[in-house]
Amino acid sequence: MRMKLIVASLLLAAAFPASAQVVPAAEKHGLPLVVGVGFSDFRSDWNGRLWDGRLAGGTVWADWNFYGAPSFLHGLGIEAEARDLNYARTGNVPNMRQDTAQIGAIYTWRHYQRVHPYAKYLAGLGSIDFQHTDPHYSHDTRTVYTPGGGVEYRAWRNVWVRGDYEYQFWTDFFRHHTMNPNGVTLGVSYDFGHSYAH
């Protein structure tokens, strides 16, 4: 009888860890951080005319996700983003450059395992170089507000491909005009927060 009790106890003790590992075997949570880099192509919206040209350049971002938060916060995160649009100018301003550094909220819909649509709203600072009739006025900075969204596709394990669109609001420019650069970013990111078994 004592031997049966010992064997039963050992089997029961061995069964608990095995049953506890069934769900997390496919996906484990680690550091809730995603970092990415991409290439952006934006319409400059200089003087509010469509033909004022486009700018291109690099973008980097980092997302901090709240994986351990209550269920109503699942998908919510914080995104920090920096962009330097200083290349491939097509407009008539030879020194045009637009740089932004922003932070804000991002919500990612994680219903599907490989495809994640998302929406975001960022705010921060924008820096712009330009030509003006006043030779001493060729640079300015403004507060920038940016709604945006896109989709991420899991290409392999923790590597995601991102397609992103943003519409920026550079406030109180010439004579209280709001400038609206907008464009797309294509990039790749690495998710430190998930470990996929397949």
Under DSSP, is residue 174 helix (H, G, I), strand (E, B) or coil? helix
pLDDT in the model for residue 196: 57
Question: What are the two backbone dihedrals, phi and then psi, of residue 77, each rounded to the nearest 5 degrees?
Answer: -155, 180
Please check whether residue 73 lies inside any domain of the structure. Answer: yes
Check: CB of residue 62 under 8 Å from CB of residue 46. no
Check pLDDT > 60 for residue 141.
Answer: yes
Please check whether residue 22 lies inside any domain of the structure. Answer: no
Q: Dig out the tokens for 133 from the structure.
A: 């009739």
pLDDT for 14-70, tens place per residue?
A: 443 443 333 344 555 678 999 999 999 999 987 666 556 899 999 999 999 987 778
Check pLDDT > 70 for residue 145.
Answer: yes
Check pLDDT > 80 for residue 75.
Answer: yes
Check: CB of residue 59 under 8 Å from CB of residue 37. yes
Please check whether residue 2 lies inside any domain of the structure. Answer: no
Please, which pLDDT band fits residue 195 given cuts at 50, 70 and 90?
Answer: low
Please, which pLDDT band fits residue 83 given cuts at 50, 70 and 90?
Answer: very high
d(CA 13, CA 39): 53
pLDDT for 61-72, tens place per residue?
A: 999 998 777 877
pLDDT in the model for residue 198: 46
pLDDT in the model for residue 27: 54
pLDDT in the model for residue 138: 83
Check: CB of residue 115 under 8 Å from CB of residue 151. yes
Task: Write the CATH number for 156.
Answer: 2.40.160.20
Structural domains of the chain, count: 1
Please check whether residue 20 lies inside any domain of the structure. Answer: no
pLDDT in the model for residue 191: 94
Please check whether residue 15 lies inside any domain of the structure. Answer: no
Q: What percentage of the chain has pLDDT greater than the value 70?
A: 78
- The predicted model gives 1-16 an average pLDDT of 44
Please check whether residue 8 lies inside any domain of the structure. Answer: no
Note down the domain range covering 99.
31-196
Distances in Å between the Cα of 91 and the Cα atoms of 34, 42, 47, 70, 86 are 34, 12, 11, 48, 12
Average pLDDT, the chain: 83
How many residues are given for the chain? 198
Please, which pLDDT band fits residue 197 given cuts at 50, 70 and 90?
Answer: low
